Amino acid sequence: MASSAYLDVRNAIADEGSDARVEVNQRALIDKILARYASAGAVYRELLQNSNDADATTAEILITTSASSEGGKEVVSQVIYRNNGLPFRTQDWARLRKIAEGNPDAFGVGAYTMFSICEEPLVVSGKKGEEEAMAFFWKGDSLWTKTGKAPDGIINMSATLNHSNVQDNTAWTSFMLPSRDPYPLPDLVEFAKFLTASLTFTQCLKNIRVYVNSTLQLNIQKTIIESHTIETPKASSFWRNDGAVTSSSSGMFTLGKGADLTQTSVQMSVSIRKDVSPKSDMETSKVRARYASAMVNTKIPSGIEKRMMRVTKKKPPKELTVQIFLDAADHSDDNQKSSKLKRKSKAALITQSFAPTSGSGRIFIGFRTSQTTGLGIHLAAPLVPTVEREAIDFVDPALREFNSELLEVSGILMRLALENEMYRLGTNWNWKEEREAWEAQREDRKKQQKEEEEEKKLETDDAESTKDSADDKSSISSSLYSFATFMARGVTSTVKEAVKAVPELLGEDSETTELLNPIDDRPLSIAERDAIILMKAYCPRQSTPDALVGQCLAKGFGRCMASSSPPVLTVDGVARGIDSRLTNNGMEAFGIPHAVRRIMLENAREYHAVIANCPTMSIDDLIKAMKENILSEEMLVRLLKWYPKYARLNNPRRDKSLRLKEVIRYHKENYSKGGLSSDAEAEVHQLDSIFYFAPQRMSKKLPLPETVFPQSLVGSIGLRTLEDRHFTDWFQPLPFDIWTGFISEHTCMRNGNEKDDATRILVLVTLSKHFDSLESATAKRRFVELLPLSSPFLPFDITTSDVNLPTSNTKTAVPNELYLPDTDLSAFSGLQTFYKASKRLKKEGVSDAFLLAMGVRKTIKIEFLFLHLDTLNWNENPKPLIKYLIDADLSQQDLLKLRSTRYLPAANDKTTVYAPSQLYFKDKDLNIFPFVKFLQWPSNESISTAARNFLLKLGVRTEPPLSDIMGYLEKESAKSVDSRDDAALTAALQYLTQRLGPKGAYVNQFRHAKVDFLPCIRQNLETGEIVKEIKSPSTCYFNPTAMVMGFNVLDPMLSDTELIGVRMNINRDPSCQVLIRRLLQLVDISTARLDQLERQGTGIEAKENNIEKILTLFEGVFLYLSSRTSDFQKRQLSELAKKPFIPCKCRSGLQFYTADQVFFLKRQSEGAGGCDGDSIAELLFQQVEYNAFLSFAGVKTEPSLEELFALMMEKPDEVLDSLGEPKYKMLLRRIAANPPFKRITADIRSSPFLLGYLIVDEDESEEGDETKARSKAQYLLAKADDIHIVDNAFLRRQFPMLISPMEQTLEEFYRRIGSKYVSEVVKKDFEVMGNTHRGTPLANSCADRIKERRPLLLSPSITSRPLVSNASSILDNLEIFQADSIRAIYSFERSSKMINVTCCSKVTKRKSIAIFITNNFEIFDLGNTIGDLILQHCELKDAFFLTSLLEASIGTLRNRGFPVDRIVKPQPPAVEVKAEPRKQTPDITNSQKSPEKSRQSSVNGTVKDGSVDAASSNPTQPSGGFDTILKSMYPQYDTNKIREMLGPNPSKEKAAEVANELAEEVNKGVAGSEHENTKGPGNDAESMPRAKKEKKSVLGKMREGLNPVRGLGGKMPQMLNKRIGGSCPPQGVGAGVGVDGQGNNGESQRVGRGVGAGQGDDAESKGQEDAVQKSLEAMLQQSVESSRSVNSAGVASQETLLQNLPEGIDCNSNGCEVVPAQNIRPFKGPYGNYNSRNGIRVMAAVTSTSTANEAFGFLSNNFDAVDNFSVVIGHLVQIFKLKISSVAIYYDPNGNTIAFNSNKAFHFNLRFFHSLHRHDWNSKGCYSYWFTVFCHELAHNLVSAHNKEHGKYTESIVMLYLPALIDFLAQNGIA
């Protein structure tokens, strides 16, 4: 479709369209093209490219300059470029001409570059003498050409070379380019660099000459030196690979074979004048370079080929050539000049730029582009460039694929060139001979080292010096000749830098530097230099500006030989990178195979690390090398010095380190000159057999084991090295114990030969020093045990000439046979001969302590001493003996003997001697203990400190053992009272107690808890006597008050019983479990005692005495237990939960009760008189005084409702007898208000606990009689099913029956349990008698009235009674019949009565519902009948209410507040009604009394200070509140008149009578006007017969109260008017259009303008209504939003009075409203703060201490109720859009306030929520209740007092936010 449409349009315009040529602005086109050429030399690059394409070998650039007008500088005025290539052919001239036509592809875009410097170029070309010329010139923006024959001699003049006699026969093609804007002469050096680079890959062009003003300034010549073929590696080649890949990834390009891969060496010679002066000399510099080229076969897919032809307009070639430029190096012929001069010459600068540096190789597409290769290699290939020829085209998909594949195959060529050269290097290099020759000359080199160092100082950083030496005699291979000469400069410099940098980077000292960086002084070989130059060219960088170029080259490089890593040159020749190893911190010094010399690595690090991926030497490589080689001692020393330094840097694994030690072998002597040896016959040692090295403190002359390092090697290695932490697993310092064990078996310590004397003395000195260095006695003892103490190795001196030598022929003896050299034995002279150790030992340094430890004696033996005590006279006076022993150096064995032997005398006891542990130092405190023996000491001398300490060491005591003291106490306390010494016992207890304290002798030693030794007392619970006993610490207590429960406590006669108790671990009090058991035991004992008295028939007085004793006993017990309340836990009291333990007096005497059967007495200050809960508890339950323990055990302040209800269910008759009917009824009210059960069970329904009343009417009055019926009621208990709820007093009076109390709360409660309404149990049937008529005026009038009032009857906002489901259908299909008479038949159980009535309903034969009325029917009967039809349950009050809806006029209903204008839409009268004289209308604002007070009192209680009071009593004003209700019903009457009609203290009957009278007066006034102005049945009430007076006609209204929600009606607009400054009609909001236009007042027909106007209102009235309504809502919302945050500290206010309240408000006798005091404080809940879970502040009432305790206790135990209440309040806060901080929850157990508003913050009493809604808090009823309370408090933001205005605001807020509440309940499914 698209194609055919295209053809249709094209054909259509082809036949009928007009032609127009597309004009081209050629000047703009050329400018745009030239903008793409960023480089300054673009014109020369393009001209040189064209010259090369034309097979030119020479190109000349002739520059003509002239003086500049600015400053006289020379500027270029003209440039002539010419080449000796093929002259222009005819087709060439045609192509050149086409660029003037705007076709850049005709001759190449590059031709446009001439216009970059010249406005109108001129081209001359042709054979000699036949030159033609083409001139370009402009006509406007169009480019034109002219062609013709060139004049002779203009271009090809001989002045070119500045030699007029030279004949030039060359056919030149010349481009004459006069300067458009003269420009400065370019820098010839930079220009020469550009031109030299342009010759890099030219095939034909070899020479470029540059003339300036006819003088040759620059000459560049390119010459080919040699060329050879590159071999492609095969699978069987030297490199052991799988062959080389020679094609690109998709096979688009494949390298040729054989001669197609060549390598060529060229020489580039540059000559340039030193300056532009014609007389200056020419400088020449040469550089040699190497190229690799390959013929590439192409196999381009047809799709790519087509796309390329579309873009390039050329067909891709079948074959193409790829070249790479590897390197270039300077090779100047001027060898006489210094390196510095050559480096600074212009020619050298030019040649130096010819070679690429690392990563700076360029892509050549004909000529050099700005794209780099990322290597030190240039690449020339027929890549497709961008338009400006500065970059490769990767934008077009086809060109991108072509260029990427071609770059990939170029990378393959680079890899093959690398492999080829490295292969040649490895083949030609004899590395073994070079290394051996160098090693052989090592000694000679050492001698010449100083000379070489001096020569090195003379060396400079000049790179050419090294290159010159390398170039001499063809030292570099021919293939790398130019490459090597160029790179030599960098190599030398790099080597020097690397060597100098090593100490600074790695070494901490010179030795470390040498170890980690072994000096490799062997000079670079020719092969190594060639390899460095080659590898540096392959060091990679990122290609720029397009990184894809480098990625493609790398891809080809890697694919070429993917399985083989690139080769590197190692010390063992050429190897693959993966097989070679890079140096690693000096590891190369130990013969690692295939190691790369560091100088090679430093000069081509990127190649080794990135390209060849060479691994670094590892510990595994070293292990492998050590397996294959045996080290000399010299290399072993180097290895052991090197390894810890290496380990600090590399942290080798422990297993590798141990493995290395295992494989190291070495020659004990240096058998080979080199470090390594393989001489199998030489003695080889394993390093793994050496474990220790001798520490420094050991003499080198000491004998050592074979496992210790030879001292000769330790000297070379260094002890510090062997102690390095990395040798911890290799070697350890020789442990002295091991050496001691070795030396103990040595001959010097065993035989005592004289030849070993020197060694023996040295060994003893070493052993003594080590002994002295040991700190602990245990270590010293164990060390001495290692010595051969039984061998005679200790030398001694002979002290007497007649001494007998020991049993040895040498002068050595066993140590224990000798004494110290300095021992004084003069006191024992003559008793025995003694031998002393040699004094030489002490002189050499052997310590006395060491000798003593070995057994050498300082004193005589203890046995010898004991044997000669009598001789020395020390047996009665121990002082000299002790003094000697103190000075003597006693061994442990001596001390043991001194402690256990009996040798000391006791004071006053000469019969025997005692061991030290049996005696005590004299102390008067110990005199109380008869078992103590004191040490005998001279009486006139005291024991010195030294003697005392020594005696303590021997065991003399200062304190008796605790066991001895306890034995004494136990024995003494076991005596009888008469024989026991209480004073001594008390003193001993005090002595023991003092020493059980901190730092006491017996602290933490007391373990005698079960020993009876403590004097205690106990109270006999039966007699009250105090009994003294001896008890153990575990069976007594030290708190004396525990005695009240019969426990043993410490005798108070003891001083400080508490100290005794604490230090002897006596419990202060019995444990809680023990107390509970004892309490129950006391209960059992008391019960048994009472039973015994009962059985014995004891008299009343005795019983009373016992009862008083028991009560007194338990009073003390509970008082004691209350002091222990904090020690108890709830679970410990579980045993008391069901056991009676609280004694109380009762009628039968004394009885024990459980905790839940007893309650605390109310304090007098807290008590409340009258029939309250306290009096009920007092009558029904036992009460006791408050006690903390009893409270914790479960005794409550007052019984809960659940407990009262349970008692009522269990014993209803007893409860009634105890309480009486009034209090019983009050209890029922409490239960009804807060049912203590979750669901009604069968037991509740069947239990006879409900009060029923049987009313006997004494005088039943006749109908219409004004006398009151008197009745008498009898009450009895019955179940719910037997009691009936009076919803119809008439039916109740017909039959005798039990009825419920006539209170709404109790009626609802009875109904819930199962009682039925009277109307349900009394069956009704109706009998229509006589004729019935349909369509009579009376029937029609009745039907019309029902139809008119139908919306009111069915409106859910009028009545809260639920309608039947089909109520609307019933009224719509209702038929009205008039009957002669109707009789009602009432039956109850077996009785029945018949009474005539005036109205009933029956089902007709057609199954429809019909109402029958009599001629003179009662309107009440009609309302009752309709209520039975449309309500699910119609009570009498409902009948009265419906009657008022049917009976009153629309205007009356409107005035009463019914929203009739929203429900009933009355039409204006058809005829005009005469206006009655205008009556004076009372001021509604001031005179109308709000009916809201009565309604609020019944729902929310009396309101005070913004608080909702819980009291539900009626107002105590004289009119009883009925005046307010009647005023709301009949607002046209004055309040005073209504009060006058009611009289003082009116009853309900009187109020009903007044209501009927007022209604009659209203109906009369209205009837007159209607009778005159209406014809036929109308809409007013008087159109139907007036009903008879009936007292009950308004009782329902009065009982029900006004409609709870009246919307925005009433007098709200008048109050709003005061606020917004508007106007409202006097009638108020509820005013509308009645029949007479004025409602009930008979005023004129003028339509009132008010918010509640009816359908007759005009647009203006409607607008006013909307404006007022919106203003009101805005005002209310603003008032609600003005709420403030709760005071976090609480509320504290005094009781105040509001004066001058409006008339009719419930107030006290002073006419003022009481604002109750509030005092609440924050309560800290279980969440660690003062808030509920959702952040509402929680507080408690603190009006008194008891209130605070009760409030805090309740909140602590019922915080779940707080959380539930907070959820409800939180949701209401969201509905009113308030902040959560504006509300608080508090608990007040006594106040009557439900909630209060304090400074626009709202506080809600938890007590009422807990009583009303704790079981159904998530219900619609709960939310509705607290929503109304909240609205009440919000209204106080506007009005403080509870007046009419506050009531209206409350209703308005309810109506405003009620939809939000309904939506919330619906969304959350709350029913």
Give residue 1709's pLDDT.
Answer: 37
C-alpha to C-alpha distance for 1515 and 1708, rounded to whole angstroms: 9
Q: Which residues of 1605-1624 are buried (b: 16+ CB within 10 A; e: fewer)?
A: ebbbbbbbbbbbeeeeeeeb
**Residue 454 above 90 pLDDT?**
no
The two three-digit tokens of residue 1750, written as one number: 């009760």
pLDDT for 1471-1528, tens place per residue? 343 334 433 333 323 333 333 333 333 333 333 343 334 333 333 344 445 676 676 5
- The residues, ordered by sequence, that sit 6+ positions from 846 with a Cβ below 8 Å of its Cβ are 764, 765, 768
Opening angle at CA 449, ends 446 and 454, nearest 5:
175
Which DSSP category does 390 fall into? S
Q: Which amino acid is at 1160?
A: F
Give residue 978's pLDDT.
Answer: 81
pLDDT for 1217-1239, tens place per residue? 888 888 888 888 888 888 888 88
Give residue 166's pLDDT.
Answer: 47
Within 624-776, strands assigned E span 630-631, 665-667, 676-677, 684-686, 692-693, 732-733
Confidence of residue 1383 (pLDDT cuts 50, 70, 90): very high
Q: What is the largest CA-CA distance in the chain?
A: 178
**Residue 483 above 90 pLDDT?**
no
Quick check: 1442 and 1423 in contact, CB under 8 A? yes
Give residue 39's pLDDT.
Answer: 58
Confidence of residue 1075 (pLDDT cuts 50, 70, 90): very high
Give residue 1770's pLDDT.
Answer: 92
**Residue 1801 above 90 pLDDT?**
yes
**Residue 517 above 50 pLDDT?**
yes
- The residues, ordered by sequence, that sit 6+ positions from 1320 with a Cβ below 8 Å of its Cβ are none
For 185-193, what is the mean pLDDT?
86
The two three-digit tokens of residue 276, written as one number: 């532009």
Give residue 1806's pLDDT.
Answer: 93
**Residue 1461 above 80 pLDDT?**
no
Confidence of residue 475 (pLDDT cuts 50, 70, 90): very low
Q: What percentage of residues in the chain have a pLDDT greater than 70?
A: 75
Q: Which amino acid is at 207?
A: N
Quick check: 858 and 820 in contact, CB under 8 A? yes
The two three-digit tokens of residue 283, written as one number: 């400088």
Residue with tokens 């419906």: 1442
Query: Cα-Cα-Cα-Cα dihedral of 1420, 1423, 1425, 1430, to 10°?
Result: -160
Q: What is the pLDDT of the chain when averaged over all its residues?
A: 77
Strands 1014-1019 and 1049-1050, sheet pairing: antiparallel
Give residue 1708's pLDDT.
Answer: 40
1440: β partners: none
**Residue 1244 above 60 pLDDT?**
yes
Confidence of residue 1834 (pLDDT cuts 50, 70, 90): very high
Give residue 710's pLDDT.
Answer: 84
Give residue 1564's pLDDT.
Answer: 55
This prediction has a pTM of 0.45
Q: Which amino acid is at 767?
A: L
Residue with tokens 């808030």: 1731
pLDDT for 659-711, tens place per residue? 998 999 988 764 344 444 444 456 788 888 898 988 888 888 888 888 888 88
pLDDT for 1081-1132, tens place per residue? 999 988 888 888 888 887 888 888 888 888 888 989 999 999 988 889 888 8
**Residue 451 above 50 pLDDT?**
yes
| 3-state SS assignment for residue 236 | coil
The two three-digit tokens of residue 812, written as one number: 């050595």
Q: Which segment, 443-452, 518-527, 720-729, 1356-1365, is predicted with the most confidence on average?
A: 720-729
Confidence of residue 595 (pLDDT cuts 50, 70, 90): very high
Give residue 216's pLDDT.
Answer: 93
Burial degree of 693 (CB within 10 A; 0-12, 13-18, 19+): buried
Give residue 448's pLDDT.
Answer: 66
Neighbours of 1573 (CB within 10 A): 16
Residue 1510: which of 1165, 1788, 1177, 1224 has the closest Cα? 1788
| 3-state SS assignment for residue 1015 | strand
Residue 1776: which of 1734, 1827, 1726, 1811 has the closest Cα? 1827
1848 versus 1470: the higher-pLDDT residue is 1848
For 46-66, what is the mean pLDDT?
89
Give residue 1315's pLDDT.
Answer: 93
The two three-digit tokens of residue 1773, written as one number: 């806060």
Confidence of residue 886 (pLDDT cuts 50, 70, 90): confident
Q: How far is CA 153 from the centre of its chain?
A: 93
For 899-919, what is the mean pLDDT?
85
Distances (CA, A) of 1744 to 952, 1169, 1507, 1721, 1788: 70, 19, 20, 12, 11
Give residue 267's pLDDT.
Answer: 86
166 versus 137: the higher-pLDDT residue is 137
Quick check: 627 and 592 in contact, CB under 8 A? no
Confidence of residue 108 (pLDDT cuts 50, 70, 90): low
733: β partners: 693
Quick check: 316 and 300 in contact, CB under 8 A? yes
Give residue 1492's pLDDT.
Answer: 36
For 817-835, what is the mean pLDDT?
74
Quick check: 1186 and 1175 in contact, CB under 8 A? no
For 1297-1312, what is the mean pLDDT?
89
861 versus 1313: the higher-pLDDT residue is 1313
1030: β partners: 1015
C-alpha to C-alpha distance for 784 and 778, rounded to whole angstroms: 10
Give residue 1697's pLDDT.
Answer: 62
Q: How far apart are the first and last CA of the chain?
A: 68
**Residue 1664 above 80 pLDDT?**
no
Q: Which segment, 277-281, 955-959, 1102-1106, is predicted with the most confidence on average?
A: 955-959
For 1273-1294, what is the mean pLDDT?
87
661 versus 340: the higher-pLDDT residue is 661
For 650-663, what is the mean pLDDT?
90
Q: Which amino acid is at 1310?
A: Y
Q: Considering just the CA atoms, what is the radius of gyration of the chain in Å?
A: 65
C-alpha to C-alpha distance for 844 and 821, rounded to whole angstroms: 13
Which DSSP category does 1182 fall into? E
**Residue 937 above 50 pLDDT?**
yes
Query: Cα-Cα-Cα-Cα dihedral of 1354, 1358, 1362, 1367, to 10°?
Result: -10
SS3 string, 1049-1115, reads EECCCCCCHHHHHHHCCCECCCCHHHHHHHHHHHHHHHHHHHHHHHHHCCCHHHHHHHHHHHHHHHH
- The residues, ordered by sequence, that sit 6+ positions from 462 with a Cβ below 8 Å of its Cβ are 338, 339, 340, 343, 489
**Residue 1650 above 70 pLDDT?**
no
Give residue 504's pLDDT.
Answer: 39
pLDDT for 229-252, tens place per residue? 776 665 434 444 457 888 998 989
Residue with tokens 């050539």: 321
C-alpha to C-alpha distance for 1177 and 1159, rounded to whole angstroms: 8
The two three-digit tokens of residue 1150, written as one number: 């004394």
1595 versus 1125: the higher-pLDDT residue is 1125
Side-chain half-sphere CA neighbours of 1688 within 13 A: 7
Which range is least confidently modeled, 305-319, 823-837, 1751-1765? 823-837
Which range is least confidently modeled, 836-840, 971-975, 1523-1527? 1523-1527
pLDDT for 996-1040, tens place per residue? 888 888 888 888 888 999 999 998 887 788 898 999 999 999 999
Within 954-1048, strands assigned E span 1014-1019, 1026-1031
* Continuous H helices in 1758-1819: 1759-1775, 1806-1812
Strands 1158-1160 and 1182-1184, sheet pairing: parallel
Confidence of residue 1626 (pLDDT cuts 50, 70, 90): very low
Residue 1329: which of 1382, 1291, 1279 has the closest Cα? 1382
Instruction: Taking the CA atoms of 723, 726, 731 and 737 in sequence, report the sign of the dihedral they define.
Output: positive
